[in-house]
C-alpha cells in the first residue's frame, strides 16, 4: 500500500482553530493520522487554563497529532483577538512557505454560556451576546486572516463545525442562532471562494461523546456504555474521531468542490467515504432519530 493510500494528506498544512478538546481535537488527530502538519490553537495550554478551567491543552492535542503520524504544532491563540490571529497566520505563512490547505473553524466554548431553561426575553442579554461573539465572531476573524493563503494558491478547504445541518430549532435561542450562523458562514465563504478554487462546507457530528459529555454522564471512554442507563440515546453517540475522519476524508477528496456550500453530517459522509468510528462502528444519529425520536420531536428536516 502506498503512502498516498495510508497518508493522503502528506505534505498538506492544516489549521484547527479550537483544537484543544472535543471535535477540534478529534479533527486535528485525524488530519495528523492522514499525514498532515496541523497547527493546533486555543487558549488552554500547559502554562495556564482558559476561563473554561478544563485540563485539556493544545500541547496534548499536538502531541497526539504527532503520535498519529502527522506533525502537531501548538500555538496559543485567542481567536476573538484579531491581532493574535493575524500573528498566527503570519507564523504559518513563514514556516510553511505560504501554504495552508485546510482551515477548520471549531472554536466554541459556549456550553457555560448557554441557557437551556429560558426564552429569549428572560435570558441575560450580555451572556447571550458573549456566546455569539465566542462562537461566531471568532470564526469570522480566523477566516478573514487565513483565507488569503488559500486564495493565493487557488486551492484549499474551509470547514465550519456546527451542530445540526437542518433548519430545525436547537432548543435555546442564542445557541440556535450561533450554530445556524456558522452554517451560513460556510455558505457565504463558499460563494466568495468558488472563483478561487477553494471549497467551504459546514459539518455536524451526531451525538458527540466529548470529554465534557463523558464527565456529564460520569463515565470514561473505556466504560462509556454505562451512561446508556441515564440516556438510551447515548448508545448512538460517536467519538470526536468520527468527526475528524469525516473531515480528513473531505480534505483528501479531489472533488470536494462539488460539496462546497453544503451543510454536511458524519451520518451522511460515512456512507460515501467508508470511514468508521474509533471502535470500528459507523454511528448514524439521523437514522436513530428517524427510528426512535421523530414521533416525539418531529423530523430533523432537510439539510440546509
* Residues labelled catalytic: 175
Query: Are the C-beta atoms of 173 and 136 separated by less than 8 Å?
Result: no
68-98: b (≥16 Cβ within 10 Å) or e: bbbebbbbbbbbbeeebbeebbeebbeebee
**DSSP code for 43:** S
Q: What phi and psi values does residue 178 have, to the nearest 5 degrees?
A: -65, -50
Distance CA 124, CA 158 (A): 33
Neighbours of 290 (CB within 10 A): 13
Distance CA 179, CA 136 (A): 8
Q: How many CA atoms lie within 13 A of 250 on its CB side?
A: 35
Distance CA 189, CA 20 (A): 25
Amino acid at each position: 500500500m502506498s503512502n498516498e493510500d495510508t497518508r493522503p494528506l502528506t505534505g498538506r498544512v492544516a489549521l484547527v482553530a479550537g483544537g484543544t478538546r472535543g471535535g477540534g481535537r478529534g479533527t486535528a488527530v485525524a488530519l495528523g493520522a492522514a499525514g498532515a502538519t496541523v497547527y493546533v490553537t486555543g487558549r488552554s495550554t500547559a502554562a495556564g487554563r482558559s476561563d473554561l478551567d478544563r485540563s485539556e491543552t493544545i500541547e496534548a492535542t499536538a502531541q497526539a497529532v504527532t503520535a498519529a503520524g502527522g506533525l502537531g504544532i501548538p500555538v496559543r491563540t485567542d481567536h476573538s483577538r484579531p491581532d493574535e490571529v493575524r500573528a498566527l497566520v503570519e507564523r504559518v505563512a513563514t514556516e510553511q512557505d505560504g501554504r495552508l490547505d485546510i482551515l477548520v473553524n471549531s472554536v466554541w466554548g459556549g456550553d457555560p454560556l448557554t441557557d437551556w431553561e429560558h426564552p429569549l426575553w428572560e435570558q441575560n442579554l450580555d451572556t447571550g451576546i458573549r456566546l455569539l461573539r465566542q462562537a461566531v465572531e471568532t470564526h469570522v476573524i480566523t477566516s478573514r486572516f487565513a483565507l488569503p493563503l488559500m486564495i493565493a494558491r487557488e486551492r484549499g478547504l474551509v470547514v465550519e463545525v456546527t451542530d445540526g445541518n437542518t433548519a430545525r430549532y436547537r432548543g435555546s435561542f442564542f445557541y440556535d442562532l450561533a450554530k445556524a450562523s456558522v452554517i451560513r458562514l460556510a455558505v457565504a465563504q463558499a460563494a466568495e471562494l468558488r472563483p478561487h478554487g477553494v471549497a467551504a462546507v459546514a459539518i455536524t457530528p451526531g451525538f458527540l461523546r466529548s470529554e465534557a459529555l463523558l464527565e456529564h454522564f460520569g463515565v470514561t471512554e473505556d466504560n462509556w456504555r454505562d451512561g446508556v442507563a441515564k440516556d438510551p440515546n447515548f448508545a448512538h453517540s460517536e467519538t470526536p474521531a468520527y468527526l475528524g475522519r469525516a473531515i480528513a476524508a473531505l480534505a483528501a477528496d479531489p472533488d470536494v468542490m462539488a460539496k462546497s456550500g453544503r451543510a454536511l453530517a458524519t451520518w451522511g459522509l460515512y456512507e460515501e467515504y467508508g470511514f468508521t468510528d474509533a471502535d470500528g462502528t459507523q454511528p448514524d444519529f439521523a437514522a436513530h432519530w428517524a427510528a426512535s425520536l421523530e414521533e416525539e420531536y418531529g423530523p430533523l428536516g432537510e439539510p440546509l
